[in-house]
A = this chain, B = another copy of it.
């Protein structure tokens, strides 16, 4: 049975009044692949845009096992306890395969999911990283319009999705464990380089000393990276999400970062750069997809690949001929 769609006005009024049910329904439209849903979603987004932007967007990453959910619960409860509203979103392009490993099961965050000032939304589960990232970025707009002044965007520590999260966050937080080298945790240097703060989790019991040592090591490692445009010196702190220690200190750092970057203008500059980045990213992605998905081109591309592989044509001539044929098609 198909549910009837509401009017754009109904969705927008609901969102702006902070109605979670209508927010959720609108996010579902954002995530939908049906043309009629996409159209109404875009109208809702345009209407919500002027009411968006008034939040701090925090990207959070770390490999499975690092304690991300527990950390988000701890930090999220602290933030909402101070009277703020928190939306927890995620980017996990693999979630279709893994049946939604990230946030798929809200019960992983028992405390937050029962908290009326928190809104938890699992990763959109369809398709490419580009598609998933677009949906999450648009969901941020709707959440902000609904009054959420804090947004977490969670991801897993695998590379490409971190870059996507970084490009829609104001602050990027990397969770690590002591004891395991960063290489063992599968964290690439490039991800460490993006971090504004590294939090070494599970710094409790007999682990505390190891965590302190790791803190010194990571601090030294961070000093080798070039100075950030934000003027911010990335920090390394220890915490224990499960025993809720070190969490307020992390929050204090994030607030210090916000104050610094709002004042020196970096906060606004980065937001602007991110908006145009996503516009150009989408253009380039679409240009590529249109070319490669054109039914007339698919066979030709294969044929020219063979010519190149058999040394009958140079890579550049093959590219030129394919583009020439493509431009005649339209």
Smallest Cβ-Cβ distance to A311: which chain B residue: B49
Q: Taking the complex as formed, is A213 at the interface, i.e. its CB lies under 8 A from any CB of chain B?
A: no
Of A108-116, A245-253, A254-262, A312-320, the one with at least 4 CB within 8 A of chain B: A312-320
Contacts of A53 in B (CB 8 A): 311
Contacts of A42 in B (CB 8 A): 314, 316-317
Flag if A279 contacts B305 (CB, 8 Å): yes
Chief secondary structure at chain A's binding surface: helix
Smallest Cβ-Cβ distance to A182: which chain B residue: B224
Contacts of A314 in B (CB 8 A): 42, 45-46, 49, 138, 141
Q: Taking the complex as formed, is A183 at the interface, i.e. its CB lies under 8 A from any CB of chain B?
A: yes
Q: What is the interface residue range for chain A against chain B?
A: 35 or more
A134-153: CB near B (< 8 Å → 1, else 0) gives 10011001000000000000
Flag if B288 contacts A319 (CB, 8 Å): no
Flag if B224 contacts A319 (CB, 8 Å): no
Contacts of A282 in B (CB 8 A): 315-316, 319-320
Cα A138 to Cα B314 in complex, Å, equals 8
Given known A190-B190, A278-B316, contact A323–B46 (CB-CB < 8 A): no
Q: Taking the complex as formed, is A293 at the interface, i.e. its CB lies under 8 A from any CB of chain B?
A: no
Contacts of A280 in B (CB 8 A): 319
Flag if A46 contacts B313 (CB, 8 Å): yes
Flag if B276 contacts A313 (CB, 8 Å): no
Q: Taking the complex as formed, is A11 at the interface, i.e. its CB lies under 8 A from any CB of chain B?
A: no
> A218 CB to closest chain B CB, in angstroms?
15
Flag if A276 contacts B319 (CB, 8 Å): no
* Contacting residue for A315 out of B279, B286, B291, B313, CB 8 A: B279
User: Which A residues are within 8 Å of any B CB, using their own CB?
Assistant: 42, 45-46, 49-50, 52-53, 134, 137-138, 141, 181, 183, 188-190, 224-225, 272, 275-280, 282-284, 286-288, 290-291, 304-305, 308-309, 311-320, 322-323, 327, 330
